[in-house]
Structure 1
Amino acid sequence: MKTEPGLVFEDQRYDDTMDGNNGVTHLYKPPTITQIKEEDTDNTMSGDAIGTEMAAGQLTHSPPSQIRQNLILLLLTLTQLVQIAPLGVGVNSGLAIGQALGADRVQSTWVVASFPLTQGTFVLIGGRLGAIYGHKNILVAGSLIWVIWAALGGYATNLIAVCFFRGLCGIGGGLMTPNIIALIGITFPPGQKRNLGFALFGAMAPVGAAGGGLIGAIVIQLAEWKWAFFLLALVGAVVFGAASIAIQNDAPLDPHGSLDIIGAYLGVGGLILFNFVWNQAPIVGWATGYEIALLIISVAHFVAFAVWESKFAKDPIMPFDIWKMPSFGRLIVTVALAFMSLGIFLWYMSQFMQQIRGDSLITTGLQYLPLTIVGAITPFVAAWLIPRVPAQVIIGLGCLALVIINALLATTRPDLTYWAMCFPAMFVSAFTIDLIVTSAQIVISSTVPMKQQGIAGSLVGTLLGYGLSTGLGFAGTVEVHTFDNGRNLLRGYHSAAYLAIGMAGGALILSALIRIPKNTQEGWHADDADAAERHAAS
């Protein structure tokens, strides 16, 4: 019996032996992964037993048809689009929401920073949870968290509450992101169809963020800001609900594994503390006692995390052997710097439009449309380039685009029209995150073995969300030290943009040191034992 083209079940292959009693063709795990039990099993399954049997490596229904495969890919794409929309709402309307709640301009930065902070941080454990309990199960759990806290955010009555609710919503997004990536990575073997899936996933970052920003701006400008939260929750419930119905259950890759609680605490705790320190510093200043203390504690968490994961953890959240992959470390640092630079550009371009040019929320959202439109196309260009051009070249082009857009932001003036410098910056910005994310996802996914697909997705997802948020903290510190106590906002914005240029320039230099050949792989790696057996069996 043959699998349909491009479809691969996790750690399973077909046994063409038909059961004499019920004619069921079984799927089973190869002996190289799990020793086959000697005792016979009851082949009769009820609907309630499917999840249990899948964990044991058996499944009684046929692989989905080509139409259903396409439907699953579509719904995973839409799930990512909706999941990322709160980021756009924060970028475009964070200042308006903060001011409506009585916060000043600097404090309002937390409205945008709170969502990507927790989204990026909890991606770290989202992939591991997916490996233990099934990627679809964790995707559904994250969807519920996202919808609940997005809705409750509309009932917030102060800045702290709205940021707290957005942060909890981000936790749901953090659980969803790596499992969306993993479901694409384990469903389709390396090749054109997987590249298409990652391209669609990458396209949703600019489309969802910019689109969410525009829709949120319309709602907030014409009604109250809380209705933007209610609308997000409603759309999320519909899209996520459809995805949970259409996507088939997957067998956990590590059903007998466990979550490294100590590692999770050290990693997540360190990331949150470090981000909090830098985003809070522009508000309270570094002279505040707890700032330095928390910075030291966060660094101590990182050191303890590295020691624990590499020396003591039985089931590490981040296996350190993943860093032995070719140029993996340089790639990760490059992507981190790039995302921090991008976060600075998105926030300060929005502030320039609203605070310096005097544009409305809706006008600002419309002016981000070049990013949305071109950004929907660029990931497919990146996916097309991957087998033809070395990955470091593609990522380098994305970093170069970051240098260009931040240079435009750093030198723009309020007397210039939108078309002079803002439009070129928004157009070129579509070639930043899309080229970098799509290339990094495809290369990393094809570099690591199947069992580490979730971890690979977690790393890139963490860098995306966390980089966007943390970069704002660095830039905010530069801004408040250069804007003459709020009397020269433009100088503060320009200074933040120059910091972003430095980050993008550093990423560009590092990208030249990455040595990853053109990715022409079609199918699973031959040295991935379970994937090789699956390929042979199909």
Structure 2
Amino acid sequence: MFSTVAGGFELSAKLGHESKPGDANWMAAAYSLTQSAVVLITGRLGAIYGHTRLLLLGGIIIVSFSICNAFCNTYTSFIAIRALTGVGGGVVMPNAVATLTIMVPPGRARNVTLATFAATPPLGALVGALLAGSFLQYTEWKWLFITVAGLGALIFGGLFLVLPREEPVDEGGSVDYIGACLGVSGLVLFNIAWNQAPSTGWKTPYVIVLLISSVLLMIAFLIWERKFAAEPIMPLSVFTAASFNALVVVVLFIYMAVGISLWYMVAWQQLIRGWTVLHVAVGWIPYGFGASAAVTFAAWLVTVLEAQYILCFGCLTSIAACVLLATMPEQQSYWAQVFPATIVGSLCPDFVYVAAQIIASNSVGKREQGIASSLVGTLNLYGNSLGLGFAGTIETQIARNKGSEVAGLRAALWFGAALGAAALFLDLVFVRMRQQRLPFDQDTTETS
């Protein structure tokens, strides 16, 4: 995903799409939108058909559409294919975790394995950004996606050869396909409406139609899950605990703020200060290593602090990163505010994720543990994408009214800080759970 976050503006330009305020946001939002929308149902499909099979299917999807991306000639086709690539990511994520927990028995080895797995996304994001910067600067951009496809083919091909045969944990089980279609469609259309509106305007008829349709679909989803679904994909019983309801909003707001801070950091550095994609990627190196170290740090903090205070710390780091970026002068050294914002911001995602998983596991019954855990992961991805839609609307309006691109970027970053402040308030007032063990001790095969 980070290859199109770091290189989103330049890729847009190469595809003939002008990077005006709010216009290039789909570069960062498309992949995480579809990944988050399908992740709940793909874990369940893995339980029925085999997590290993679903993991390899996700790999095939990623490889196939990465190749397709290399041959896109328009912005619209590129974004559409990027969104389809995200489906593969949504298939891989829950089934990769489930495959690891099946292969590694409970205990220290599993904890280390899953902690290592949790540390890989920020490092992978860093590698993706560096690759994007290198290919965009030194050769044809299409080779970036051909290379990604080739690496994916090697990795998933190797997994096909070495992974043991697996008996599905719920072979013959059923899937709530109607609920899945209603829920996924509602989430996707709601996100599309918000991310499309900044470039086309809220007066565009189809944007309003998309927004209204999404709300109706989500209402239909709730009615179906409550009254008709025999095995609902999202049992509404998970929302009976007050702490869990507040947690859902806190996690969504924080990950919206995280997506905003990263995207608008790139926008500021490239559009205002003239940085290259590679320059931005090198500047992100502390973020990748900081986020990886944060997993271990958060795991230690779990043993000495209540989870809601770890979540509080994650909110504070998000606020600090957004404020540092929002208050920058137009031109300034990287070391003055971007570097500290990068370091502080790198701590937020994993602090929030670890704390949220602990609180979620204590807020619901045993049968809902897997659903609650998967929902936290979904909010992570969906928030990254949805936040860009809201921020893009604010950025566009402020930039147009004040005639200043910088004013639009500042307003978007202040909105990210406000989301973090709202999350902090909700956490301190409504979230009340305690846990003294790492969430990786939980058998995450239940996420299926």
Query: Partner residue of 1:34?
Result: none
Alignment of 1:36-75 (within 5 A): none
Query: Partner residue of 1:518?
Result: 435
Q: What TM-score, normalized by structure 2, do the two folds share?
A: 0.92
Shift of 1:448: 6.2
Residue 92 (structure 1) aligned with residue 6 (structure 2): yes
Give the alignment's Cα RMSD to 1 decimal: 2.5
Letter paired with 2:158: A
Larger radius of gyration: 1
Query: Partner residue of 1:222?
Result: 138
CA distance in 1 between counterparts of 2:179 and 2:441 reads: 30
CA distance in 2 between counterparts of 1:188 and 1:389 reads: 28
C-alpha spacing 1:383/1:185, structure 2 compared with 1 (3 Å): farther
Residue 103 (structure 1) aligned with residue 20 (structure 2): no
Of 39, 44, 67 in structure 2, the residue corresponding to residue 123 of structure 1 is: 39
Query: Partner residue of 2:172?
Result: 256
Query: Partner residue of 1:372?
Result: 288
Letter paired with 1:420: A
Of 217, 224, 244 in structure 2, the residue corresponding to residue 301 of structure 1 is: 217
Shift of 1:116: 0.7
Indicate conservation of the 8 Å contact 1:391/1:518, yes or no: yes
Letter paired with 1:159: Y
Deviation sequence 1:430-463 (CA, Å, 0-9, x none): 1111111233345546776776565344312211
Of 244, 255, 266 in structure 2, the residue corresponding to residue 339 of structure 1 is: 255
The secondary structure found in structure 2 opposite 1:419 is coil
Shift of 1:294: 1.5
Shift of 1:136: 1.6
Alignment of 1:229-378 (within 5 A): 229-324=145-240, 327-378=243-294
The secondary structure found in structure 2 opposite 1:230 is helix
Indicate conservation of the 8 Å contact 1:118/1:170, yes or no: yes
Alignment of 1:79-228 (within 5 A): 87-105=1-19, 106-185=22-101, 192-228=108-144
Indicate conservation of the 8 Å contact 2:48/2:170, yes or no: yes
Alignment of 1:461-472 (within 5 A): 461-472=377-388
CA distance in 2 between counterparts of 1:302 and 1:481 reads: 28
C-alpha spacing 1:194/1:248, structure 2 compared with 1 (3 Å): same
Q: What TM-score, normalized by structure 1, do the two folds share?
A: 0.77
Deviation sequence 1:188-223 (CA, Å, 0-9, x none): 677654443443233223222222112111111111
Indicate conservation of the 8 Å contact 2:260/2:384, yes or no: yes
Letter paired with 1:463: L
CA distance in 2 between counterparts of 1:456 and 1:137 reads: 24
The structure that is helix-richer by fraction is 2
Letter paired with 2:197: A
Deviation sequence 1:248-268 (CA, Å, 0-9, x none): 344333222222111111111
Deviation sequence 1:111-146 (CA, Å, 0-9, x none): 221111101111121111112112222111111111
Deviation sequence 1:303-357 (CA, Å, 0-9, x none): 1111111211112111223334672222222111111000001100001001111
C-alpha spacing 1:362/1:404, structure 2 compared with 1 (3 Å): same
C-alpha spacing 1:325/1:354, structure 2 compared with 1 (3 Å): same
CA distance in 1 between counterparts of 2:106 and 2:377 reads: 19
CA distance in 2 between counterparts of 1:216 and 1:456 reads: 35
- Structure 1 residue runs of 5 or longer lacking an equivalent are 1-86, 532-538
- Structure 2 residue runs of 5 or longer lacking an equivalent are none
The secondary structure found in structure 2 opposite 1:430 is helix
Indicate conservation of the 8 Å contact 1:185/1:453, yes or no: no
Query: Partner residue of 2:318?
Result: 402
CA distance in 2 between counterparts of 1:321 and 1:374 reads: 37
C-alpha spacing 1:522/1:364, structure 2 compared with 1 (3 Å): closer
Letter paired with 1:461: G
Shift of 1:486: 8.8
Deviation sequence 1:467-514 (CA, Å, 0-9, x none): 111110000000000013794111100000011011111111222221
CA distance in 1 between counterparts of 2:156 and 2:366 reads: 25
Letter paired with 2:340: P
CA distance in 1 between counterparts of 2:99 and 2:240 reads: 24
C-alpha spacing 1:241/1:450, structure 2 compared with 1 (3 Å): farther
Letter paired with 1:209: A
CA distance in 2 between counterparts of 1:443 and 1:246 reads: 36
Letter paired with 2:37: T
Shift of 1:224: 1.5
Shift of 1:149: 0.6
Indicate conservation of the 8 Å contact 2:33/2:83, yes or no: yes
Indicate conservation of the 8 Å contact 1:279/1:470, yes or no: yes
CA distance in 2 between counterparts of 1:259 and 1:287 reads: 39
Indicate conservation of the 8 Å contact 2:298/2:310, yes or no: yes
Indicate conservation of the 8 Å contact 1:189/1:522, yes or no: no
CA distance in 2 between counterparts of 1:201 and 1:457 reads: 16
